[in-house]
């Protein structure tokens, strides 16, 4: 009897010790994560103490995005025989459920695909156009100087579902119904609301409470769900099931379209069945520049991807490595190069299907970059370069990337622009309509002026890097006008400073706000330079001395990346520590 009691006691004691250790670890995890992100240098037992997490490595496939459930859904599709395109669509659909303020099928989509069979890159512009009945005169007649940020006048036709369909038609392997099945389950049965997403959600509680359909879809008893709470969206589950079964046609011509149009008419919107039926997504040629032997690929306007190429072209003649990471010289050069690129962005970035002869090739040429670089004074910040838009810094977006065992690679970005887009859910459909239309200019002579059946200027940009004709890196950085700035910074971190895919995102960032914009806003007083805590006080003082308006804060962004190591054949993944997601491989 005593022996049995002693044995039971030892088992109970051992169990208590194991539970205590696990509890201690759980309590420490948030502290560890916060310390790492803020650059406090938590002492990891092995590896770089400045990293928020280790590089994720895997032999077969990988998905990286801003929510672990979405990344896992993509990886599960890879394991079931799907390819990178299937995985990307699956992850995007799940993100529309679990991170609905940042993306969804009421928004637009852009993608770059590396097809391993043809060894070619393909670009997809799945952004929608303005309604046929809209005009600058109508906006003015309704009492607005510019297109409102919220409400039905900010709508353009959602291109996301069309983007899924054309990606799947060209490259997909599994049936669309199987690809969307994980998203259907989470929408129907519920999902846990994670920490950062709960914060975003609570910030939109006011706008969501203004309409019955938005409240129905995204609030619980009039309140945003809290961290750790279970949330579902059965209206969206029904919509996803229909798309999986019938394809994009049900969205643009079937009952979902009818629901959108019925709601639009009820709230003074302009979207009609004709607008939805006429939507098409477009396969386009990616454009590139060579940066120190690496070919960096972006998509041409109506997006802003070429701004990253313009910044890198201005960098190339400089010895960035010798300048040092986040030194005053480097941040000054970066900021001035960004101002120049965004000046061009404000004037020339528009829908090339409507605005003919836009000088895209000239803007990303090396001779033009040399000409632009001559305008930079390394001792003084420029105060009046046609400049930035306070609207753009608020963009809520998701970025994801996927690679499969055959080394097909997808770089995909998708958004409804502002948090929860226009704030309107068009009927009992479980998704918000985007407010991309607010990025049109009202100037009658501007390339990006509002006109019927025209795609607005877009902030969301996917990217890819090839070297020696092989795919090397698929990556993106979310966050409105931070996106080209983030692209340039993480590439400099990798190429000039030798950082791995995780170090490149953990390093402190800077962001310049206030350049001229495609909507007509003009930079004043040199704009504002925001630097993260990893930039030293001495550097900040020197930047102020050169005339920069510097403040401390979060530069933002939402980076995800997958690199192919061609020597080992392995995949290396990195994920934004400022978000809730991860890179997951198998």
Would you state the pLDDT for residue 525? 82
pLDDT for 247 beyond 70: yes
29 or 461, greater pLDDT? 461
For the chain, what is the mean pLDDT? 90
432, 100 contact by CB (below 8 A): yes
Q: What tokens appear for 63 in the block?
A: 């998905």
Q: What tokens appear for 570 in the block?
A: 């392995």
pLDDT for 128 beyond 50: yes
CA angle 446, 151, 299 (to 5 degrees): 45
Distance CA 25, CA 56 (A): 21
Backbone phi, psi, residue 573, to 5°: -115, 140
User: pLDDT confidence of 34, banded at 50, 70, 90?
Assistant: very low
528, 512 contact by CB (below 8 A): yes
Lowest mean per-residue pLDDT among 32-41, 158-167, 569-578? 32-41
How much of the chain, in percent, has pLDDT values that exceed 70?
90
Give the Å distances, CA to CA, from 260 to 148, 162, 276, 427, 428: 19, 16, 10, 6, 9
Q: What tokens appear for 87 in the block?
A: 């995985």
Name residue, tokens 């992850």. Answer: 91
DSSP for residue 414: E
Distance CA 194, CA 442 (A): 39
User: pLDDT confidence of 30, banded at 50, 70, 90?
Assistant: very low
Would you state the pLDDT for residue 387? 32
Instruction: Provide the CB-side half-sphere exposure for 311 (13 A, CA).
Output: 32
Q: What tokens appear for 311 in the block?
A: 């910044």
Distance CA 562, CA 488 (A): 16
Q: What tokens appear for 179 in the block?
A: 């690809």
Burial 328-352, CB ≥16 within 10 A → b, else e:
bbbbbbbbbbbbbbbbbbbbbbbbb
Segment 526-580, tens digit of pLDDT: 889 999 999 999 999 999 999 999 999 988 788 999 999 999 999 999 999 888 8
Q: What is the pTM of this model?
A: 0.90
Q: What H or E segment, with its residue span, contains residue 17?
A: helix 2-37
Segment 350-390, tens digit of pLDDT: 999 999 888 899 999 999 899 889 889 999 999 877 532 32
Would you state the pLDDT for residue 45? 52
Q: Which of 31-45, 167-181, 393-407 has the highest mean pLDDT?
A: 167-181
Catalytic residues: 397
Q: Sheet holding 396-403: strands in order across?
A: 282-284, 120-126, 108-115, 409-417, 396-403, 62-65, 582-585
User: pLDDT confidence of 37, banded at 50, 70, 90?
Assistant: very low
Give the Å distances, CA to CA, from 225 to 217, 222, 228, 578: 11, 9, 8, 20
- Domains (ranges, CATH) in the chain? 68-105+127-281+419-439 (no CATH), 284-392+461-585 (3.60.20.40)
Distance CA 376, CA 335 (A): 10
């Amino acid at each position: 009897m005593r022996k049995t009691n002693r044995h039971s006691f030892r088992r109970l004691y051992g169990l208590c010790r194991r539970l205590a250790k696990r509890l201690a670890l759980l309590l420490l995890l948030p502290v560890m994560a916060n310390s790492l992100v803020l650059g406090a240098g938590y002492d990891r037992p092995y590896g770089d103490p400045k990293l928020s997490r280790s590089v994720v490595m895997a032999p077969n496939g990988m998905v990286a995005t801003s929510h672990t459930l979405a990344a896992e859904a993509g990886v599960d599709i890879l394991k079931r025989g799907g390819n990178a395109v299937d995985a990307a669509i699956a992850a995007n659909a799940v993100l529309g459920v679990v991170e609905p303020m940042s993306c969804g099928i009421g928004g637009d989509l852009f993608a770059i695909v590396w097809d391993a069979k043809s060894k070619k890159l393909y670009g997809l512009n799945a952004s929608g156009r303005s309604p046929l009945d809209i005009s600058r005169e109508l906006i003015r007649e309704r009492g607005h100087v510019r297109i409102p940020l919220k409400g039905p006048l900010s709508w353009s036709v959602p291109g996301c579902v069309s983007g899924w369909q054309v990606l799947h038609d060209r490259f997909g392997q599994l049936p669309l119904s199987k690809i969307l099945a994980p998203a259907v389950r989470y929408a129907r049965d519920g999902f846990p609301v994670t920490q950062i997403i709960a914060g975003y959600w609570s910030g939109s509680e006011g706008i969501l409470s203004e309409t019955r359909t938005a409240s129905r879809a995204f609030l619980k008893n009039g309140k945003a769900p809290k961290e750790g709470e279970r949330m579902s969206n059965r209206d969206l589950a029904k919509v996803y099931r229909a798309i999986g079964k019938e394809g994009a046609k049900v969205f643009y011509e079937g009952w979902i379209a009818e629901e959108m149009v019925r709601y639009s008419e009820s709230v003074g919107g302009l979207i009609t069945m004709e607008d939805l039926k006429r939507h098409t997504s477009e396969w386009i040629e990616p454009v590139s520049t060579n940066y120190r032997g690496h070919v960096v690929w972006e998509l041409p306007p109506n997006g802003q991807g070429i701004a990253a190429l313009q910044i890198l072209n201005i960098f190339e003649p400089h010895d960035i490595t010798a300048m040092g990471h986040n030194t005053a010289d480097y941040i000054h050069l970066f900021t001035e190069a960004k101002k120049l690129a965004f000046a061009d962005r404000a004037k020339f970035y528009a829908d090339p299907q409507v605005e003919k002869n836009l000088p895209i090739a000239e803007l990303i040429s090396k001779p033009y970059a040399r000409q632009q670089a001559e305008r930079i004074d390394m001792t003084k910040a420029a105060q009046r370069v046609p400049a930035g838009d306070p609207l753009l810094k608020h963009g809520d977006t998701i970025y994801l990337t996927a690679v499969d065992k055959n080394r097909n690679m997808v770089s995909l970005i998708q958004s409804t622009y502002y948090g929860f887009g226009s704030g309107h859910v068009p009927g009992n459909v479980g998704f918000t309509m985007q407010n991309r239309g607010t990025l049109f200019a009202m100037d009658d002579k501007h390339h990006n002026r509002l006109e019927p059946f025209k795609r607005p200027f877009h902030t969301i940009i996917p990217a890819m890097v090839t070297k020696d004709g092989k795919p090397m890196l698929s990556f993106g950085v979310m966050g409105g006008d931070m996106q080209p700035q983030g692209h340039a910074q993480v590439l400099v971190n990798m190429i000039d400073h030798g950082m791995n895919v995780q170090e490149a995102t953990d390093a402190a960032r800077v962001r310049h706000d206030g350049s001229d914009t495609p909507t007509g806003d003009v930079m004043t007083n040199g704009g504002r330079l925001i630097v993260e805590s990893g930039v030293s006080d001495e550097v900040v003082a020197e930047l102020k001395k050169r005339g920069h308006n510097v403040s401390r804060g979060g530069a933002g962004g939402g980076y995800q990346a997958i690199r192919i190591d061609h020597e080992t054949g392995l995949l290396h993944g990195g994920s934004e520590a400022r978000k809730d997601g991860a890179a997951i491989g198998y």
